[in-house]
Structure 1
Amino acid sequence: AASLHFLMGLGGMASFGHAAFFGIGAYGAALALTALQWPIAACLLAAPLAAGLAGIFAGWLCVRLSGVYLAMLSLAVAQIAWATSFQWVEVTGGDNGILGVWPPPPFASRSGFLLLTLVLTAAALASLRIAAFSPFGYALRAARDAPRRAEASGIHVRATQWAAFAIAAAFAGVAGGLYALAKGSVFPTYLAISKSVDALIMVLLGGIGSLTGPIIGAFAFGGLEAELMASAPFWRAILGVVILALVIVAPSGITGVLGRQIGKRQKSAASA
């Protein structure tokens, strides 16, 4: 979700197929571990590398368009990746997937893998934040808000957006690699449209205008999903209605609502 926010919030590029990079990262880590017998560090590097390379190709296609056309092209690219994962049985295992993707010691234990996940997640989020407030991040915002003016000031808009696509894909690959090791298996469903929709909901739910939005949105979405799964038979329909209501009532997301509440309290405290 954080990598999708980097693409949508900073770059203004809506991607409907971001889960493809998540799944490619998962397959990259799984194949490196099971087929190539690489050490865990190399496997975790293979995940963003594979996803980043896919992002370079997808970005080269997608940044030529904008708006809904870019979104639909990203969806088409993701569908190609999903179909490939089903049909390239010799590499991906097809429907059967890749099994036995377990991390070796000292990360085989739950506590060891949890620590690894926390460290890598924190490093990834910190890296995205640094990139967002770097000259590249401001160039990406300029390309989003005023592309012609950005070009006139010397910013290569298409190259900047292309780089952002590759960066977002690579960080989605990191998440995919960790997810594969946590589950111990990889299947084509990791690249499915439903996964992309989940990530999109997390971004919109948390708020697209804040860097903390996708993090808060991910926790909120996960909490809602877990609560409804345990208590309602038609939980997906109910979850959709709840999310739709939240987006309509608070279009700026949870962070937008919290920001307004904090602003009101600060104003009332200052006037008092």
Structure 2
Amino acid sequence: MISHLLYQLKHSPLMVLGLVILAVVLLMVGLAGWIAPYDPEKLDLVHRLAAPSAAHWFGTDEVGRDIYSRVLFGGRQSIGVGLFVAGCSSLVGAVIGCFSGIIGGWIDGLIMRCMDVVLSVPSLVLIMALAAALGPSLFNAMLAITLVRIPFYVRLARGQTLGIREMAYVKAAWTFGATRRHVVRWHVARNAASPIIVQATLDIGGAILMAAALGFIGLGAQQPTAEWGAMVATGRNFLLDQWWYTVMPGCAILVTALACNLVGDGVRDMLDPKARAK
């Protein structure tokens, strides 16, 4: 198992690059309480909007808060949103999709028509509407993104289930009296997991970008919470003269989302039999 993983990593340099970047980001964010030079919410009006220097590596914001410290602590919010959205939406969507595909009939039709209604609305518009209805906060933004992403996993899991349930070993399980729950747990879920894992890995970066977009328009994290999208939104007012205010958290979003996508592409190549055969 380990040798196979090392072999795959050897032939996927972009995935290795993504893993290294992601590991560094997670390490810095996880150790933010120890490596951040300042309190992310401490005001210092004397040094407001100071340019990057030895004292403040990323400069300061309009009330003198250290941007480097806020980027580190803000990573906890942004990356936490990505992991929560990918984990919850994939788990809930996979369960609904697998049971929908196994049950079939009018229940399957009803579930899929509900999913079609959600998918017929542009994702960003629906997320903004839900976030606005729930109220501007990071948790509500995270919940809105999760709810909108669930139908994608439902359709993916159902499609996999429809193919798997026609396999000989699944029909044999029905013949020997296996329950639907047993079939879903021991046959369908395990064999349908690969594409769901790949999609969830890719969705982490997308969720981080979506949370940043909601923070940018004021529907995500609120002041004084440090969050990358909210920092970019506030920094745009000073972009012409104090470019570091927007560029630093923007680069953090870019690097993290790029690393997640590189890892997701690598996982897809590792779990795709057609890709391994090439």
Fold shared per TM-score above 0.5: no
Q: TM-score, normalised by structure 1?
A: 0.31
Question: 1 or 2 for the larger relative contact order (CA 8 Å, sep ≥6)?
Answer: 1
